[in-house]
Amino acid sequence: VTKLNRQILLAKRPLGLPEISDFQLVEAPSFDIHDGEVLIQTIALSVDPYMRWRMGGPEMHSEPFELNNVISGGGIGKIIESKNPNIPTDCFVTGQLGWADYNVSDGTGLRMVDPKNAPIESALSVLGMTGLTAYFGLLDIGKPMPGETVVVSGAAGAVGTVVGQIAKIKGCRVVGIAGSEHKAQYLKEKLGFDAVINYKSEGVYESLKKACPDGIDIYFDNVGGEVSDAVMYLINTYARIIMCGQISEYNQKTPSMGPRLQKYLIYNQALMQGFRIRQYSDRFNEGFEQLGQWVRDGKLTYRHSIVDGLENAPKAFIGLFSGQNLGKQIVKVSEE
């Protein structure tokens, strides 16, 4: 059956903050599938800040999105046709999907999702790359110890919400940095953060100093910029700074400047380490098992900000940069 397949292309490389006109929605017939392939109906798509790098072209990313090609990212879908004996129809899968109603795949990189375990969208959040990013970044680089103080920026975002909860599970004092009172309240009341700083209404340095009377042992950075500068002035000896994202930087048209911070690393014998979740691919199963266990035990909760309609994916993506989402931003494309 030939179905109409809407696709979202990258029409222009964004300059600064992406605009709706950088994207184009086109309609094409859906693909024919060949032996070994499956046809996937997209149920939901993940929009993530790192995708801005891929939009920026080869100077910003080694695997840039190509102009006038379909944008791709994390997604979940349902197998509606299969010529692959290992992947039955009607099952749910997650993996890299094009921003389109339908995708064809030979199964490479797909992972089955059991809808009985949790809402399948959680395969894009706490039980997906988002959760793994929080898990490996915090535990493998940060190595939190009970009683240590963990600060997380972008605390109300997809990764930040998971980081804070895992840090609580590990017995740490957790201080979030977020951009609204509503987010701060959610983090404190629903996720058990010990304190949350609203960087839009408070002086970050002064508030952090109050919220972290014993200094800062671990900083999980999703944001960068001045917010992160303030953290660096308060780190303890042997602090670990986990560089996960720098969302404040991705839309800068010229390299942004800040105070040179390297001397704080020397003085405090501190570590700053960048990572990308792919480097932990051989340990994903460990992460999935532990995250699933915490979710089942009620120790780890999650929140999805859902936008309806494939056509709204660009808007949802752009909204990440103004912090419109609370928890994981998901684009719902079709019903399960």
Applying CB under 8 A, which residues contact its own copies?
53, 61, 221, 224-225, 228, 243-246, 249, 255-260, 262-276, 279
Burial 217-250 (b: 16+ CB within 10 A, else e): bbbbbbbbbebbebbbebbbeebbbbbbbbbbbb
**Which residue, 83 or 263, has its beta carbon nearer to its own copies?**
263
Pairing of strands 173-178, 195-198: parallel
* 172 neighbors 149 (Cβ within 8 angstroms): yes
Question: Burial level of 34, CB count in 10 A (0-12/13-18/19+)?
Answer: exposed
**Which residue, 91 or 261, has its beta carbon nearer to its own copies?**
261
- Least Å distance, CB 266 to its own copies, is 4
- Least Å distance, CB 259 to its own copies, is 5
**Which residue, 211 or 272, has its beta carbon nearer to its own copies?**
272
Kindly report the three-state secondary structure assignment for every residue of 33-52: CCCCCEEEEEEEEECCCCHH
Which residue's entry shows tokens 């098992």?
A: 289
Which H or E run includes 284?
helix 284-296
**Residue 205: HSE in the Cβ half-sphere, 13 Å Cα cutoff:** 7
- Least Å distance, CB 204 to its own copies, is 16
- Least Å distance, CB 50 to its own copies, is 9
**Which residue, 262 or 322, has its beta carbon nearer to its own copies?**
262
**Which residue, 180 or 252, has its beta carbon nearer to its own copies?**
252
- Least Å distance, CB 270 to its own copies, is 5
